[in-house]
Amino acid sequence: MTLHPAEADSGIVFRRTDIAGGGAEIQATWRNAVETPLCTAIVHPSGVRISTIEHLMSALHGCGVDNVLVELSGGEVPIMDGSSAPFVFLIDCAGTCELEAPRRALRILKHVMVSDPERSASLCPGDGLSIHFEIDFDSSCVAKQEWFAKVHNGLYKREVARARTFGFLHEVDRLRAMGLARGGSLDNAVVISGDEVLNEGGLRFENEFVRHKVLDSIGDLYLAGGPILGHFHGVRAGHALVLRLLNALMADETAWAWTDLTESDATQQAETAGATVPPIRAVAASA
């Protein structure tokens, strides 16, 4: 995978370099996303798919990157260690550049919610982006966890980026039979067997599980096409439910509005990555 700089207002675009004819380009927006139970995927009209984009999308949001071309030599973003920290590190090493165009954000104007009997996801008005997430698993190793955070003042790097994806050992055979998790190992996920974490060194945070759900949500919400100014609340919500939430939000044109970020808004968004910048777009340099 290679990240290339992109022009203002081009957004986040993925390109498959292994596809004949110059590669299929797919805009990373809710319009091109499809519901999948275990990851976030976007699909080209031709049927070309790119999967597991959520950790990279989360890192791009956390680093304040609005415009970037992501080249991939296959159909899936590298899993790395199961978190977004490696992507954040490489983006920081490459650096970002500012463009002469205002940063835009999607301001939430009223409450929107989707749910099923056991899960829910909602957005409501708020200053900056804040996230409240709740999970509940039968395993006592995970159990009930809840976390609230306003995503600014460098919090993403400190408290979110290093949280790894997780799964249960008894699910591995079923997933591999479905063609999933073929590269899954203790190197790129927290693996739980019964009520025990199998990874050497244990967890990076006591509540790493719910923090990773926050990481996923930040990446999935970035499919709105820009940073969100509002409050997200997820209760056992997964990728598919967050995508349904974005579809419900966009279907109600009275529930949102695009706005140029003010100096205060932009500072909050930029401080996600630990630095203050003017309210103008940023792009990733090659990484």
Active site residue 111: no
Residues 6+ apart with CB under 8 A from 89: none
In degrees and rounded to multiples of 5, residue 138 shows phi and psi of -65, -35
Residues 6+ apart with CB under 8 A from 174: none
In degrees and rounded to multiples of 5, residue 70 shows phi and psi of -105, 110
Quick one: angle between helices 54-62 and 85-94, nearest 10? 50
Instruction: Say whether 173 sits in a helix, a strand or coil.
Output: helix
Q: Which of 55, 61, 152, 239 does the annotation list as catalytic?
A: 239
Q: How far is CA 201 from CA 119, 190, 205, in A?
A: 32, 11, 11
Q: Which residues are catalytic?
A: 239
